[in-house]
Structure formats: C-alpha cells, structure tokens
Structure 1
Amino acid sequence: WALSAVLFTALIAGFGPRVIPFLAVQAVFGLSLLEVVNYLEHYGLVRRREASGRYERVAPRHSWNSNHVASNLLLYHLERHSDHHANPTRRYQALRHFDEAPQLPCGYGTMMVLAYLTPIWRRVMDPRVLAHYGGDVTLANLHPRTRERYLARYGATDPQSAVA
C-alpha cells in the first residue's frame, strides 16, 4: 500500500489533480482483477479444520491450476497456483504442475471472463468441484446462503444439520 501511495502521490504531483479519476479507475480495475483471480483459484475448494482447531496443511488439492503454456509464460506461472501454496518459497520460474491438483478447463484470461458471467461460470465449474470431491457436494466450500440449494440439487443431506 505504501508504494502505491507514493506512486499515486508522485503522479498527482506530476500531472495534477486531473489524473485522480484515472488513478481511481485503475485502482478499482486492479482490485477487481486481484479478487477475481483469487476467486477462480479457490472456487469451491476447502481446507478442513483439524481436531486441534488448526487448518490442515496446504496441499496442491486446495487450489485450481491451469497448465496452459501461453498464460503461464505471460503470468509468470501464476497458474501453477497449487505449487505456490504448497511451497511458498519456491521461485516462480520453478513452480511445478501437479496432476493431483484440480485443473481449470481454460487459461486465466478465459476463466476471469467466465467468473464475471456467474451462470456460465457455475455451469462450467460446479461439475468440476463436484468431481474433485468424488461427487460428495458436502465436502465442497459452499456459501451458507446457497448451501441448502446445492445440497438439494445434488441429493445430499447436510451433515451439520443431521447432528443438530
């Protein structure tokens, strides 16, 4: 944040206040890209909480990968996200593909567009999430507001409500 503040201050000082709307649009666009990439990298996936209260160790199965050559070159292997999580100190040039990591059907560019088109996104990704969890939708990370609808759609019962 500090570097952005310095950059924005320098740009305003250099170009005057007329640059502020452009900086605001750029900031919103940048934040939107960050959030949509975070969304598509983790959609439907969950790390289980252990009996100790801590979450299980991060593994390749906890984030989506996309092994597409052009995107990987342009995005510095960002699409090998699973290796980044499992091995955070590994340099981006050395990030590896994991067969056990869930795979996105397309590169990040296409997936970002789909993420903004929610019905299409769900049509493409929900079956992949379900397949990743062996057909057990109760294992997926479901938004509380839509949880019951997904459970009903896939004929599952909520283990949390069965306990109550």
Structure 2
Amino acid sequence: MPPKAVAEVTIDIDPATYETQNVHAIYDTIASHFSSTRYKPWPIIAKFLSEIPDGWIGLDSGTGNGKYLSLDRDGKTWMVGLDRSINLLKFAQNAGDKAREVVLGNVLDHCWRTHAFDFAISIATIHHLATPSRRVLAVQRLLQAVSPKNGRVLIYDGARRRRAMGFVEIEHCAKSKIT
C-alpha cells in the first residue's frame, strides 16, 4: 500500500516554543512512566552498536532514558547521551546500573567540537521537531558531530510504523551541505 499524501501542519507559534510546550514539558512530566516502558533495545540499533569498533566514542542524540548507553560492550566503546529532558537524563545517567556521561541540551544545538565523535545515533527523536527545516538541522548536527573519514551515523525513527499510519519519511536529508 503506497504512503498516503500528508499535508504539512502549520503551527501558529515559534517552533521552539511549540516543542517546549508540546514535547519537552510532556516528557519531563511522564519521564518515570516512559522510562519504565522503554527498556528493551530495538534489534536494529543493538546490531549497529555491536559492529562499532573497539575504542570508538559515540553520541546518543535524544538519549531519553539512556537505554542504548548501556550497549557499550563492557566499556569497549563509550557514548555520551544528549537529551532535552532533565527527568529522562536522571534515568540515563545510571543506565545499565553504571554511571553514564549525559548532557542536558537540544539536538539542534552545536554542542560539540566538530567531528568530536566516531559515531552517533538518534533514535525516535527527530520526528519530535516541529518543522522539516528543524529536522534537517538535527541531521546536519549529527553529521557535524562525527568524523568525516570513518564516522558512522544511525538515525532510526520507526519509519515503517509511521508509514503504516499514513506518515511519510524525510528523504535525502544527508545530502544537505554541512557547514
């Protein structure tokens, strides 16, 4: 079944304000329940992380409760978790019963030295951004964060499930010029 045509939704307020009110405030409120229901890593992400070379440093952009931070293969890789929800980061900082490095910040901000990471993941995060241009910027920030030589980026947003619900996925974001 082909994807349904979806009209872009127009919001009447600044996109950052919209996200603060309709995404960030909600996640801060439901953090405890959300974390208790999001503990099992998705297989596609676990496979990606299992293939990361030893010694690599990564970024989990939109880490939430940090469930992927614990897939560090007993310290053979290391990840920093970035999220906008202070309450979810409280869970992430001890993901897998081990102290984790987490940072309170926005996936749209240029928080890191360019090319500071060997790999980055962003799982079920980008769809929360209010506009297509903000989603593209989030992808650009991930690409800026990783090494241009051998860096790896995995963005996964459950596209198959959203397609089944009539949503379409962003195409060709990675072709955007990185500055």
Instruction: Provide the TM-score with structure 1 as the length reference.
Output: 0.32
Larger RCO, structure (CA 8 Å, separation 6 or more): 2
- Would you tell me which structure has more helix in proportion to its own residues? 1
Larger Rg: 1
